[in-house]
């Protein structure tokens, strides 16, 4: 537009000057080497205007040619990119369908023309993982890592693959590195939770729980279960490393809330029994049953190797006087009677426990008590009932 206006201005100026000096065209002489060119001023002006117009026209034609070339190039580039996107979408569907070979083929075919090659290589890596080809899987991850802003996506994919292969140590290294850079990433935290549980890293798991809760990765119920599992795991570790004295010291260091948790009490008691600290285990179980009656704790009493079982028998008899339908107390007392060769008393309490609820172990114990009394037919009938329960 500017050039057109400029030409009109020059042309207008020429017409004005020409009209003012009509009949007085003047004289222009141009000498170059041995050549001379003569013309009037009017001719010179017209020549200059024509030359400018020609230059402007030439510029326009060159630009049009370049634009056409660029448009053609862009057309083919966009076409390739669209085709690559379509193939990648198909690869994702094939990956979800389990057709890993086709998924890998489609994801990598036009990856260089995709506007996000990272996605293509990650899909291809997952497909290679599905095919069991670790070499290709790692190769695609390496190609993906060469893309911009790819670290989080690549390392998360790598960690998931390591977890699926049960290579938890490698996954731990991968995720620990990520956690330092992305401490609040929900996926990183969730994967770390899985790795900590599998590697039995109980203290790190306990330290991770607040972040998991804050990121809404776990609910209240799951947090409570993970806390119980981690604390029980710590009790096992301490028992293995420090013995009964260290275990008791660790238990005493826990909060009142933890020591009132029946699941942890059971776990603590089992560790004491394993360390042959049966008297301490009996005291613990007895006091906790008094405070918080729990059927799971009754079952631990017969497992204890007590020098004198009389206090345990008296305790169970007292519990049954308070609640005659306490099946677990009946079962525990019957096992003590069985151990003391009081077959009839054992039979009576096993039968009472089984009227309240079915239990394979109690049926087996009852059959044994009946055999000891030469009640063979009744013992066989009880054994058949126990077998029926097992098959169900």
Question: Looking at residues 94-120, what average pLDDT do you find?
Answer: 86
Question: Looking at residues 224-240, what average pLDDT do you find?
Answer: 95
Question: Looking at residues 186-214, what average pLDDT do you find?
Answer: 95
pLDDT digits (tens, 9 = 90+) for 38-74: 666 667 667 777 777 777 777 777 777 666 555 455 4
> What is the pLDDT at residue 295?
74
> What is the pLDDT at residue 274?
94
The two three-digit tokens of residue 194, written as one number = 């899985």
Of residues 102 and 21, more confidently modeled: 102
Residue 268: pLDDT over 90: yes
Return the domain boundaries, the chain: 10-15+24-60, 219-301, 308-392
> What is the pLDDT at residue 69?
55
Integer Cα distance of 363 and 387 in angstroms: 9
Do residues 140 and 130 lie in contact, with contact meaning Cβ atoms separated by under 8 Å?
A: no
pLDDT digits (tens, 9 = 90+) for 294-336: 678 999 999 999 989 999 999 999 999 988 899 999 999 999 9
Q: How far from 101 is each of 105, 113, 126, 158, 194, CA to CA, in Å? A: 6, 21, 11, 19, 29
> What is the pLDDT at residue 242?
94
> What is the pLDDT at residue 76?
43
Tell me the pLDDT band of 75, cut-offs 50, 70 and 90. Answer: very low
Question: Looking at residues 155-178, what average pLDDT do you find?
Answer: 95
Mean pLDDT of all residues belonging to the chain: 85
pTM: 0.73
Integer Cα distance of 350 and 340 in angstroms: 15
Q: Percentage of residues in the chain with pLDDT exceeding 90?
A: 56
Residue 372: pLDDT over 80: yes
35-39 vs 28-32, strand pairing mode: antiparallel
Q: Percentage of residues in the chain with pLDDT exceeding 70?
A: 84
Question: Looking at residues 172-179, what average pLDDT do you find?
Answer: 94
Residue 15: pLDDT over 70: no
> What is the pLDDT at residue 61?
73
Do residues 195 and 172 lie in contact, with contact meaning Cβ atoms separated by under 8 Å?
A: yes
> What is the pLDDT at residue 27?
63
Residue 371: pLDDT over 50: yes
CATH architecture, domain defined by 308-392: Alpha Horseshoe (1.25)
Question: Looking at residues 149-158, what average pLDDT do you find?
Answer: 94
């Amino acid at each position: 537009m500017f050039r057109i206006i400029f030409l009109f201005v020059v042309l207008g100026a020429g017409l004005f000057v020409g009209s003012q000096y009509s009949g007085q065209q003047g004289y222009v002489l141009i000498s170059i080497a041995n050549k001379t060119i003569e013309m009037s001023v009017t001719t010179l002006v017209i020549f200059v205007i024509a030359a400018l117009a020609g230059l402007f026209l030439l510029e326009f034609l060159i630009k049009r040619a370049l634009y056409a070339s660029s448009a053609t190039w862009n057309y083919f580039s966009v076409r390739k990119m669209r085709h690559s996107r379509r193939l990648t979408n198909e690869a994702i569907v094939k990956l979800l369908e389990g057709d890993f070979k086709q998924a890998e083929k489609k994801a990598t075919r036009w990856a260089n023309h995709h506007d996000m090659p990272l996605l293509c290589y990650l899909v291809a890596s997952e497909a290679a993982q599905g095919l069991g080809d670790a070499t290709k899987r790692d190769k695609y991850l390496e190609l993906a890592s060469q893309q911009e802003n790819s670290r989080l996506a690549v390392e998360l994919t790598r960690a998931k693959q390591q977890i699926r292969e049960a290579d938890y140590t490698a996954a731990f290294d991968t995720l620990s590195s990520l956690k330092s850079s992305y401490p609040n990433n929900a996926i990183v935290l969730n994967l770390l939770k899985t790795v900590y549980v599998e590697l039995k890293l109980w203290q790190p798991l306990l330290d991770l729980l607040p972040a998991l809760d804050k990121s809404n990765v776990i609910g209240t119920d799951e947090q409570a279960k993970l806390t119980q599992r981690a604390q029980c795991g710590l009790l096992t570790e301490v028992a293995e490393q420090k013995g009964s004295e260290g275990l008791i010291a660790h238990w005493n260091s826990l909060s009142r809330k933890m020591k009132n948790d029946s699941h942890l009490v059971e776990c603590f008691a089992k560790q004491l029994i394993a360390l042959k600290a049966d008297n301490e285990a009996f005291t613990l179980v007895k006091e906790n049953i008094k405070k918080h009656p729990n059927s799971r704790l009754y079952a631990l009493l017969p497992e204890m190797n007590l020098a004198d079982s009389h206090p345990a028998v008296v305790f169970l008899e007292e519990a049954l006087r308070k609640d005659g339908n306490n099946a677990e107390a009946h079962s525990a007392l019957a096992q003590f009677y069985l151990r003391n060769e009081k077959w009839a008393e054992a039979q009576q309490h096993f039968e009472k426990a089984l009227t309240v609820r079915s239990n394979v172990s109690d049926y087996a114990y009852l059959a044994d008590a009946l055999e000891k009394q030469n009640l063979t037919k009744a013992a066989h009938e009880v054994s058949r009932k126990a077998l029926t329960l097992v098959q169900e």
